[in-house]
C-alpha cells in the first residue's frame, strides 16, 4: 500500500476545499442564518410571500421602470392641487405625501367642527401591532383630541387575544378559522380583517365572550354589533349580558350582515352560537358612533401581500357600514429575512395591494408605514441589517407611485443603529430580538406616528384657511370615557 500517495491525495482534497471556501466566502452574504433564537410556536409566514420570494426575488427592473423611478426619486416632487389645496414640493429622501391624505384630513376637519360626525381608520399590520401595540396609542391620541369611545372591529379569535389590554376576549377552542395568510380559496370570502370563522361544531356550543378593558376610552363595549356573511341556512345566537339572555336570529341574506347585540354600552357579554355552522362569522364592532375609531387588523407573519386577494365586493359591503376614511399599511418585519436586497418583487406586489384597497374602499386615503430598524450581528457586533434601507426605499417608492402618504419609521425612530439603542436604553424600549418593540417602545412609536399625521393635518388647516380665509373658532369634542352609560343586568332591544 502506498501510504505516501494517499497522504498527498488527502492533502490535495483538503487544500482544494479550503481554496473553494475562501473563494465562495467572497460572494456569500454576511449572514446566512439569524444569530437570534426564534421561537417557531405560533409563527406564521403568508403563502403569497413565500411564492413571491421563490418566483420574483431575482427579477430585475426593466430600463423603462428604472427611468421612471429615477424621475420619481430625483429632483422635487410637486403635487396637483386638490380642491384648491396644494402642499409644498418635497424631495424623495424626506417624502411624506400629505397631499394624498387630504380627503382624510377633510373628514377630521369636519369632525373638529361637528363633534357628532365620525372618522374611521383601518390599521393593517404584522406582529409589530400584535396585541394592539402601537395602534392603541394612535387610537388614544385621536380619541383624546377628537372624541370617540371603543376599540373598533375585533376578530373572533386571535393569537394575541390573551395579551391584548384594550379589550379582553375569551373564546371556545372549537372555532374553525380560515386566514388569508395560508388559504387562497376560503369556504366563504374573507372579512375586512382577513379572516372568516365558522361555528361548525354541532355537538358542543361554540362561543366567545368580551369584556371591556381598563384603558381610557375603552372602558365599555359601545354599541356591540356582530358582522357575519352570506349562507343558505339561518342560525341563532344567544347573547348573555349579566343575568339576562337575549336570543336573536341570524339571517345571512347579504354578502355582509350586521346584528346589534344591544343599544348603548355594556361592560361584558357572551355570545353562544346555535345551529350556525354554515354561516361565516367575521367579528364584532365596538364604537360610540361619533369621534374617531381605529380598527386593528394585525396578523403575525404577514407581509401585506395577502390583502391582494380580498374580494372587493365584500369589502365594499363592509365599507357601507364602517365607512373608512384612512387605511394604514404597516409591514416589513417579515420581508427582511430572505437574504436579498432586491425588493422590486415586493414593490410590485404591494402596488397591487394598494390598488385593491382603492378598489375596495373607494375614495379612501392610504398611508404606508415603512419597516422599522432591525439589528443583526455582523462580526460579533449588532448593527442595522443591510436589508432595512433597501426595503424602506422600495416601500417609499410604491407609496409615491400609488399616491399614498408615507411614514419613514426607520428614520423616525433614529435611523442607522437606532434599534440597538432602543434595546440598550434603560428602561429598554425594544425586545432583545432587535426587531420588536415592547410596551414602552410601542407607545413611543404610536405617538411618533400620530404626531406626523397631525403635523400634516395642521398644515392642511393652514392651507385651507389660506384658501377660505380665517375660520371661526373650532369646537373640539372631549370625551370622558367614565361618563358612558352602562347596561348592567337588563337588556333592551
Report yes or no: 200 and 277 within 8 Å, Cβ to Cβ.
yes
Mean pLDDT across 296-312? 95
* Nearest C-alpha neighbor of 406 from the set 367, 349, 452, 352: 367
* Distance of alpha carbon 127 from alpha carbon 281, whole angstroms: 23
Q: pLDDT category, 160, cuts 50, 70, 90?
A: confident
230 has a pLDDT exceeding 70: yes
Sequence-distant (6+) residues with CB within 8 A of 39 are none
Instruction: Specify the pLDDT at position 113.
Output: 94
* Distance of alpha carbon 99 from alpha carbon 283, whole angstroms: 34
Q: pLDDT per residue over 49-58, tens digit each? A: 767 666 665 5
Instruction: Specify the pLDDT at position 129.
Output: 96
- CATH 3.40.630.30 for domain 46-483, yes or no, is no
Instruction: Specify the pLDDT at position 65.
Output: 64
Residue 312: how many CB atoms within 10 A of its CB? Answer: 14
Residue 95: φ, ψ to 5°: -65, 130
Report yes or no: 122 and 130 within 8 Å, Cβ to Cβ.
no
Our separate counts of H helices and E strands in the chain read 11, 22
Phi/psi region, residue 145 (left: phi>0; alpha: psi -120 to 50; beta: rest), is: alpha
Instruction: Specify the pLDDT at position 13.
Output: 52
* Distance of alpha carbon 223 from alpha carbon 264, whole angstroms: 5
46 has a pLDDT exceeding 70: no
Give the start-to-end residue ranges of the domains of the chain. 46-483
148 has a pLDDT exceeding 90: yes
Report pTM. 0.85
* Distance of alpha carbon 420 from alpha carbon 429, whole angstroms: 10
471 has a pLDDT exceeding 70: no
Amino acid at each position: 500500500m502506498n501510504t505516501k500517495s494517499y497522504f498527498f491525495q488527502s492533502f490535495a482534497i483538503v487544500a482544494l476545499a479550503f481554496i473553494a471556501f475562501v473563494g465562495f466566502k467572497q460572494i456569500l452574504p454576511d449572514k446566512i442564518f439569524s444569530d437570534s433564537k426564534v421561537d417557531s410556536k405560533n409563527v406564521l409566514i403568508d403563502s403569497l410571500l413565500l411564492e413571491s420570494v421563490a418566483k420574483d426575488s431575482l427579477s430585475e427592473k426593466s430600463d423603462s421602470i428604472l427611468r421612471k423611478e429615477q424621475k420619481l426619486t430625483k429632483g422635487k416632487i410637486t403635487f396637483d392641487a386638490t380642491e384648491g389645496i396644494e402642499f409644498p414640493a418635497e424631495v424623495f429622501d424626506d417624502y411624506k405625501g400629505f397631499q394624498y391624505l387630504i380627503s382624510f384630513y377633510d373628514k377630521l376637519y369636519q369632525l373638529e367642527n361637528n363633534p357628532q360626525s365620525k372618522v374611521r381608520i383601518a390599521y393593517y399590520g404584522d406582529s409589530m401591532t400584535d396585541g394592539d401595540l402601537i395602534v392603541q396609542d394612535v387610537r388614544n391620541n385621536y380619541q383624546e383630541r377628537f372624541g370617540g369611545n371603543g376599540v373598533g372591529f375585533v376578530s373572533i379569535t386571535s393569537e394575541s387575544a390573551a395579551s391584548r389590554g384594550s379589550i379582553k376576549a375569551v373564546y371556545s377552542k372549537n372555532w374553525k378559522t380560515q386566514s388569508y395568510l395560508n388559504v387562497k380559496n376560503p369556504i366563504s370570502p374573507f372579512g375586512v380583517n382577513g379572516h372568516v370563522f365558522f361555528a361548525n361544531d354541532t355537538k358542543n356550543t361554540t362561543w366567545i365572550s368580551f369584556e371591556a378593558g381598563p384603558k381610557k376610552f375603552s372602558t365599555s363595549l359601545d354599541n356591540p354589533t356582530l358582522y357575519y356573511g352570506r349562507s343558505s341556512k339561518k342560525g341563532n345566537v344567544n347573547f348573555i349580558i349579566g343575568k339576562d339572555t337575549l336570543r336573536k336570529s341570524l339571517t345571512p341574506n347579504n354578502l355582509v350582515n350586521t346584528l346589534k347585540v344591544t343599544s348603548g354600552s355594556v361592560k361584558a357579554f357572551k355570545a353562544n352560537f346555535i345551529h350556525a355552522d354554515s354561516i361565516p362569522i367575521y367579528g364584532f364592532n365596538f364604537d360610540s358612533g361619533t369621534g374617531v375609531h381605529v380598527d386593528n387588523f394585525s396578523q403575525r407573519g404577514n407581509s401585506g401581500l395577502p390583502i391582494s386577494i380580498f374580494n372587493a365586493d365584500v369589502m365594499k359591503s363592509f365599507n357601507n357600514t364602517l365607512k373608512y376614511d384612512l387605511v394604514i399599511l404597516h409591514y416589513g418585519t417579515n420581508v427582511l429575512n430572505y437574504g436579498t436586497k432586491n425588493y422590486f418583487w415586493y414593490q410590485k406586489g404591494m402596488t397591487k395591494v394598494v390598488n385593491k384597497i382603492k378598489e375596495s374602499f373607494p375614495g379612501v386615503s392610504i398611508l404606508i408605514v415603512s419597516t422599522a430598524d432591525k439589528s443583526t450581528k455582523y462580526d460579533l457586533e449588532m448593527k442595522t441589517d443591510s436589508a432595512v434601507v433597501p426595503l424602506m426605499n422600495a416601500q417609499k417608492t410604491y407609496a409615491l407611485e400609488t399616491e399614498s402618504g408615507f411614514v419613514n419609521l426607520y428614520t423616525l425612530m433614529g435611523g442607522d443603529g437606532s434599534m440597538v439603542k432602543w434595546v440598550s436604553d434603560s428602561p429598554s424600549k425594544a425586545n432583545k430580538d432587535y426587531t420588536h418593540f415592547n410596551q414602552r417602545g410601542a407607545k413611543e412609536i404610536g405617538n411618533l406616528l400620530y404626531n406626523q399625521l397631525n403635523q400634516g393635518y395642521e398644515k392642511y388647516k393652514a392651507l385651507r384657511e389660506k384658501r377660505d380665509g380665517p375660520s371661526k373658532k373650532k369646537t373640539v369634542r372631549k370625551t370622558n370615557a367614565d361618563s358612558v352609560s352602562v347596561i348592567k343586568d337588563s337588556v333592551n332591544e
